Amino acid sequence: MTSPVQIGKTYGALHTENFFSFLGFAKKVGSDEIQKVDVFLDDKLIDTIEANEFIQKIDDIYDVESKAFTYNLPTQYIGKKAIISFKNHDSGEELLNSPYTLIDKNHEKFNEAKFLHSLEGNFDNEKIQNINTKDSIGFLATEDNLLNKDFIKLINTFLEQNLDTRFKLFYFNNEQKKLISEQFNKYLSKIDFIMPKDIYDIASNTSIYIHSSTENEKPKSYGYHKTWQVLNQTKANMFMINIFEEIDEKEYSKSLKLLDNCKIEFEKSIVSKIFETDERYNEFKFINSINQPISEELRNMYKPNCVGFLATKENMEDEEFVRYLKELMERFPDVEFKGFYFDEKVKEKLKKYLNISIIEINKVIHYKDVLCSEILIISSLNSNYNLMKFFINNFVNIYPLMFNTVMNFKLIKDFFEPNHILFTDDSFKLTKKLEANGNIQKLVYYELYKTIGINKLILDDDNFYSLHYFERIELLLQSSLAKTRLIEITYKLLNPNN
């Protein structure tokens, strides 16, 4: 869009996200003054909003930075056929692409639009998290999904498995229902048709939600991906499967999302039947177990002078991770090492890459199976963040160490962060701030050294990798006081509001 050259002139544009959600911008030439936009419905003023947001989509088109706005039509106006218009508050000029004709309840897209619009609101997270529903598989029966061959192939696979469950098909109009009936004609006795009003209707009717991602799908914050996004962000009590284009039917497990709030036991859910022959089956059971209740007796379990590590497929194929384990075993010959694996194939890789004569190898399917260690080494994959937080929040004697190969290139001076919460929040009760001189790693390690009564200088050009992955191990194994103090600091970092 070419900007007008007349200084002081106002201009703007409007875009629709769905039939009831809008975004756009309003700007004055040569000025940073925030513009107001009046919203009219059939020429009656119903709202005045400010164009003071940064919206990536709008900035990509118009380069207006934080002069954009979003507007969701109030619920009381939805369902009435009317003309909505957006005008600059001061000049009264209509924005480009305004006015816009709203659809009413009789429009074929109304139910779908109303549902998508509901995804833009606020949600009762606790309500969604505490919904418990019987085993069922649900998905949106939109035209895009029903025309997606890979998606239909997956649904047919599930239907053919004779699973003891209902299939909940969420639809918005009669045409979609007709397409569903034709597509799954042989299995109609297993299907319940549901027209959802909002995300609560999805959450309360299915324990396994299937989403289809396609190459041409809109940005993730819009459209039907928003359904997946909301269920994920609100930590719904369900399992989720995200199917990508051309996925092999033997690789569905790559798409299984185990929400960190899912209280449904994996083995008691129909989802375990779906993935019972999958190589990641035990891994799914393990990840799911961290959402189950923990007894006080288990919170204190650990094995002194023992380092465990997760021998996942990804970890055993990571040359840096394997090299680190080898060096760790060489440096600490008197420490017991335990490799925790999920799959027999990975067990063979573990035997191939490491000296198993000095390792105890254990198959694990539950978090209880790894409590026989004092330090648990896990990789820095995003999916492992919840695992680290789980151990920090629930166990007083086991420290989870995240291994990240990027740290091999870091020096101590790379952690100069004088405004970090460790320096600004006195509730951490750190006493070595002056000596640390704005460096968060020096601050933490000086605090740990203090617990065991030693004074050791850390230099700016010291290698962080060596300090973090070898000296830290030695420190924690030697001193329960240092380990307890580090767990306290890490807990507070992960739970700043507690």
Of 63-67, 144-148, 419-423, the least confident: 144-148
Residue 435 has pLDDT above 90, yes or no: yes
Give the relative orientation of helices 440-451 and 480-494 as an angle to the nearest 10 degrees: 140
pLDDT band at 383 (very low <50, low <70, confident <90, very high): low
Buried b (16+ CB within 10 A) or exposed e, 210-242: bbbbbeeeeeeebbbbbbbebbbebbbbbbbbb
Same fold yes or no, 125-278 and 296-403: yes
pLDDT of residue 3: 47
Q: Give percent of the chain above pLDDT 70.
A: 91
Burial of 64 (C-beta count, 10 Å sphere; 0-12/13-18/19+): buried
pLDDT tier at 221, thresholds 50, 70, 90: very low
pLDDT at 258: 62
Give domain 296-403's CATH superfamily: NAD(P)-binding Rossmann-like Domain (3.40.50.720)
CATH class of 10-107: mainly beta
CA-nearest of 135, 158, 134, 155 to 274 is 158
Q: Which two tokens stand for residue 279?
A: 């190589």
Which listed CATH number (1.10.3470, 3.40.50, 3.40.1130, 1.10.10) goes with 125-278? 3.40.50
Burial class, 408, CB count within 10 angstroms (exposed 0-12 / middle 13-18 / buried 19+)? middle
Among 278, 290, 127, smallest CA distance to 202 is for 127
- Supply the angle between the helices 480-494 and 385-394 in degrees, to the nearest 10: 120
**What confidence tier does 196 reach under pLDDT thresholds 50, 70, 90?**
very high
CB 364 within 8 A of CB 342: yes
Cβ atoms of 286 and 364 within 8 Å: the answer is: yes
Does residue 53 surpass a pLDDT of 70? yes
How do residues 119-156 score in pLDDT, each as one tens digit? 877 888 888 888 888 889 999 888 878 877 778 888 88
CA distance 138 to 166: 9
Q: What percent of the chain has pLDDT over 90?
A: 45
Parallel, antiparallel, or unpaired for β 239-243 and 208-212?
Answer: parallel
- Give the residue extent of every domain in the chain: 10-107, 125-278, 296-403, 408-494
At 313, is the secondary structure helix, strand, or coil?
helix
Strand partners, 101: 83
The larger pLDDT score, comparing residue 319 to residue 240, is at: 319
247 confidence band (pLDDT: 50, 70, 90): very low
Q: What is the pLDDT of residues 254-298, one digit of tens each?
A: 455 565 567 788 888 888 888 888 888 898 889 889 888 888 889
Which range, of 9-23, 30-44, 373-387, averages the lowest pLDDT?
373-387
Answer whether 122's CB lies under 8 Å from 72's CB. no
User: pTM for the whole thing?
Assistant: 0.74
Does the pLDDT of residue 219 top 60, yes or no?
Answer: no
**pLDDT for 84-127, tens place per residue?**
999 999 899 999 999 999 988 888 888 988 888 888 778 888 88
Q: Which residue has the higher pLDDT, 397 or 408?
A: 397
For the chain, what is the mean pLDDT? 86
Going by pLDDT thresholds of 50, 70 and 90, the confidence category of residue 419 is very high
Asked if residue 124 lies in contact with residue 199, where contact means CB atoms within 8 angstroms, the answer is no
pLDDT in the model for residue 278: 80
Please give the pLDDT value at position 218.
Answer: 45
